[in-house]
Amino acid sequence: MNIALSAVSARRARISSQWLVIAAFLAPALVLLAVFMLYPLVSSVRLSFVDWNGLGNNAKFTGLTNWINLAHDAVFWQAFGNNVILAVTSVVIELPIALVLAVLLEKAGRGSRILKILYFLPLLMSSVAIGVLFKNVYDPNFGPLNVGLRAMGLDVLAQDWLGDRRFSLASTIAVICWQNVPFYMILFLAGLSSMSPELYEAAVLDGASEWTIFWRIKLPHLQGTVRTAVLLSVLGSLRYFDLIYVMTGGGPENSSELMATYMYRSVFSSFQLGYGSTIGTAMFIIVFAVAMVAMRMTRRYATEV
C-alpha cells in the first residue's frame, strides 16, 4: 500500500517534471515565434488602421480608411492579379519541367551527376545577381536575346522585353521559373529515390513500358510530393518579391507590380507606413486563406485516394 502510494506520487512527480521539461524546451522556440512572428503580425494589423509616415509619434488613427482605399485601389488589384498569374504559371510551367527533368535524371543514373549539378546552379545564385544578368540579356538594344533574334532574321520577335507593358510580367516570370525549377526538381528527385526499386523491376518484368511505369507507378508514388510542390509554389508566388523588384521594380506603369513590391514602394518610397501595413495585412489574409483552402482540399484528396 505504502509502496503503491509512493509509486503513484512518484509518477505524478515525473509527469509534472515532464511537463516542466517540455515547457523548458519549447520556451525558446515559443519566445522566438512570439517575438518574430506574432508581434510583427499583430502590430502590422494595428498599423493598418493608422495614417503614419513611420517616423516619430504623429500616427493618426483613421479607422477603416486605409482598408476602404485599398478596396478601391486599382494598382493593388492589378498587383493581386499579377500574383495570381504568377502562381498559376509557376504551377503550370515550373512543376512539369521539374518533373520531367527529375524523371530523366533519375533514369540516367550516375552518368547524370554533372547535369544534376548544372541544373541545380540557378538555385544557388542570388536573385539580385540573376536579376541584373537577365536585365542585360533582355536589353532591347544590346541584349543577347534580341541580337540573336535579329541575327536569325526574326526582327519581328525582337521585342522590348522589360519596357513594354505587354511583356514585362511574362519576361520576369520566365526568369522566375528558370530560377525555381531546380528546387522542385530536387524535391521530385528525392521523392523518386524513396521508391523501392523492386516495384520498378517487377513492372519491367511484367512488360510495362516506360510510359506506363511513369503514369501508373512513378507519378502516383510522387503524389504527396506534387501536392507539397504545388502548395509551396502557390504560396511562394503570392508572396514573391525579389526578381521583380530587381528587374522591373514593378513597372513600367505597374504592369509587373506584385503585392509585395507595391507594399515596399508604399512604405519606403511614399512614406506611407500605415497604408503599406494595410497592403501587408491584406497579403497575409490572402495567403493565409489560400493556404487553408489548399490544405483542406489536399487533405480530402489524401483520404480519398
Selection from 249, 243, 241 nearest residue 126 by Cα:
243
CB 258 within 8 A of CB 241: yes
Does 53 bind other proteins (CB under 8 A)? Our answer is yes
Site string for other proteins, 57-96 (x = CB under 8 A): xx--------------------------------------
**Pairing mode, strands 60-61 and 50-51:** antiparallel
Near other proteins by CB under 8 A: residue from 85, 116, 127, 135: 135
Q: Minimum Å distance from CB 235 to other proteins?
A: 26
Rounded distance, CA 191 to CA 95, Å? 14
Residue type, 98: A
Near other proteins by CB under 8 A: residue from 44, 78, 82, 248: 248
Specify the residue, 142 or 211, whose C-beta has the smaller distance to other proteins: 142
Does 2 bind other proteins (CB under 8 A)? Our answer is no
Near other proteins by CB under 8 A: residue from 160, 178, 286, 298: 160
Q: Minimum Å distance from CB 126 to other proteins?
A: 15
CB 25 within 8 A of CB 36: no
Specify the residue, 2 or 57, whose C-beta has the smaller distance to other proteins: 57
Near other proteins by CB under 8 A: residue from 30, 71, 132, 289: 132
Does 221 bind other proteins (CB under 8 A)? Our answer is no
> Residue 97 has which C-alpha cell?
519541367
Query: Taking contact as CB under 8 A, which single stretch among the options 12-20, 83-91, 138-146, 194-202 is the one that binds other proteins?
Result: 138-146
Cβ contacts of 23-29, under 8 Å, gap ≥ 24? none
Site string for other proteins, 264-283 (x = CB under 8 A): -x-xxxxxxx----------
Q: Minimum Å distance from CB 147 to other proteins?
A: 12
Q: Minimum Å distance from CB 160 to other proteins?
A: 4
Residues 6+ apart with CB under 8 A from 204: 213
> Residue 255 has which C-alpha cell?
504592369
Alpha-helical runs (H) found in the chain: 2-33, 39-47, 65-71, 74-89, 95-108, 113-124, 127-138, 144-151, 168-193, 197-205, 210-212, 219-238, 242-247, 259-264, 273-304
Near other proteins by CB under 8 A: residue from 91, 116, 149, 163: 163
Q: Minimum Å distance from CB 240 to other proteins?
A: 19
DSSP structure string for 290-304: HHHHHHHHHHHHHHH
Q: Minimum Å distance from CB 48 to other proteins?
A: 16
Rounded distance, CA 164 to CA 148, Å? 19
Specify the residue, 168 or 233, whose C-beta has the smaller distance to other proteins: 168
Selection from 245, 264, 238 nearest residue 131 by Cα:
245
Specify the residue, 247 or 283, whose C-beta has the smaller distance to other proteins: 247
Binding site for other proteins (CB under 8 A): 53-58, 132, 135-136, 138-142, 160-165, 168, 248-249, 251-254, 265, 267-273
